Amino acid sequence: MSAAAEQGLVRAQVDLAWRYRDANQLAVDYGKSLRWFNAAAAQDDPKGQLGVGYAYSQGLGVPVDHVKAFGFFLKAARQGQVNAEFNMGLYYDSGMGVEEDCARAEEWYRRAADQGYKDAMFNLGWLAEKCAVRTEQKAQWWRKAAEHGHDTAARNLGMMYRDGDGVPQDRQEAFKWFLKSAQMGNAVAQSEVGFAYSFGSGVVTDYEQAARWLRIGASQKDPGSLCNFGVLYYHGWGVPHDEREALRLFLESANLGSGHAQFNLGVCYRDGQGTERDPLASYVWFSIAAREQFPLAQNRADTMRKLLTPAQIAEADRRLAQWKPIAQ
């Protein structure tokens, strides 16, 4: 391989460059990787140009230089290299290395999308919302991306139909796209599917299916799945009634930032469900939920605060000052 690269065989140069970059049978060496990408790029090879562009955009063996990265991506994109076309869209979309330009971003994303590049289809959906130039609606692009296997596009399309955002509200259509996304492994969509089965939103209520999907989402540490799975244990829907397990799931979800779970913890500590009554802890969790703008949380916090002694209020304020969600 190295001998062929030294002799100027472009394919060997590019292959060797990727091996040095990604530790594929070789130790990582960004300098050597860039050397071979440059050698291929000097022969006007689009994959070599793409590799040099990645090196400058990510600082692999050279300082980050978005202007140079843009130049190499442009050379490759003009030859129809789909990853380079997508990166051209990103650069015009974000204004890195070039002035932000929605029309040019759309042009390059479209070129990549026409070659079946699902991330380009997905970004065209965001571009339709972000920019004044709207030749396609975001739902159309997200549908195309979802049909090409983009799980986040399918999830977002489900949210659009759930909320009636730019499309007619349709719970059944929302469930269809949430399920498609969930089957591709999207944890947020798994939470939505579990919720839909729990409350009959766009599908017949089925607590066993709700538990199945929420268990999968919870295993990915998705806050919504953890919280909704806790709700099933709280009520005994599709799983044994177990307030302690509900409390555990609410706590895990709350620490990941779920306002709903934080509110539920306030209720559990207030009423002694799954734990001893603890007005101080209840006040703290209602207050944290209020920070997340969860409905009724501030009202409940104000009510609980009236039950606390000055010393308890001081302790609660100390906990609130120190609390922060666990980074995901």
pLDDT digits (tens, 9 = 90+) for 50-60: 999 999 999 99
Chain segment 82-130, per-residue pLDDT in tens:
999 999 999 999 998 899 999 999 999 999 999 999 999 999 999 988 8
Tell me the one-letter amino acid at 38. N
CA distance 161 to 153: 12
Domain range for 314: 258-327
pLDDT of residue 173 exceeding 50? yes
Let me know the angle formed at the C-alpha of 194 by 188 and 199, rounded to the nearest 5 degrees.
125
CB-based contacts of 285, cutoff 8 Å, min separation 6? 254, 262, 263, 265, 266, 269
Into how many domains does the chain fold? Answer: 1
Task: Reply yes or no on whether the pLDDT at 22 is more than 90.
Answer: no
Report residue 70 CA to chain centroid gap.
26
Answer yes or no: is pLDDT of 327 > 90: no
Residue 135 clears pLDDT 50, i.e. is over it: no
- Residue 236 zone, left/alpha/beta (φ > 0; ψ -120 to 50; rest): left
pTM of the model: 0.85
Whether 176 maps to a domain, the answer reads: no
Please state, rounded to an integer, the average pLDDT across all residues of the chain.
Answer: 94
4 has a pLDDT exceeding 90: no
Among candidate residues 262, 191, 274, 271, the one with its CA nearest the CA of residue 236? 274
Q: Above 80 in pLDDT, residue 328? A: no
Structural domain includes residue 319: yes
The answer to whether residue 79 scores a pLDDT higher than 50 is yes
In a domain, residue 288? The reply is yes
- Assess whether pLDDT exceeds 80 at residue 156: yes
Does the structure show a pLDDT above 80 at 31?
Answer: yes
Pick the closest to residue 126 from 112, 114, 142 (CA basis).
142
* Side-chain half-sphere exposure of 216, counting CA atoms within 13 A: 20
Q: Tell me, yes or no, whether 277 lies in a domain.
A: yes
| pLDDT the model gives residue 1 | 59
8 in any annotated domain: no
Q: Which of 279, 190, 276, 267 is nearest to 234 (CA)?
A: 267
Q: Region 206-235: what's the mean pLDDT? A: 98
Identify the pLDDT of residue 7. 75
The mean per-residue pLDDT over the stretch 172-199 comes to 98
- Does 310 score more than 80 pLDDT? yes
**Predicted pLDDT at 134:** 55
Instruction: Assess if residue 287 is contained within a domain.
Output: yes
Nearest Cα neighbor of 162 from 201, 124, 129 is: 201
In a domain, 250, yes or no: no
pLDDT of 163 higher than 80: yes
Assigned domain for 266 exists: yes
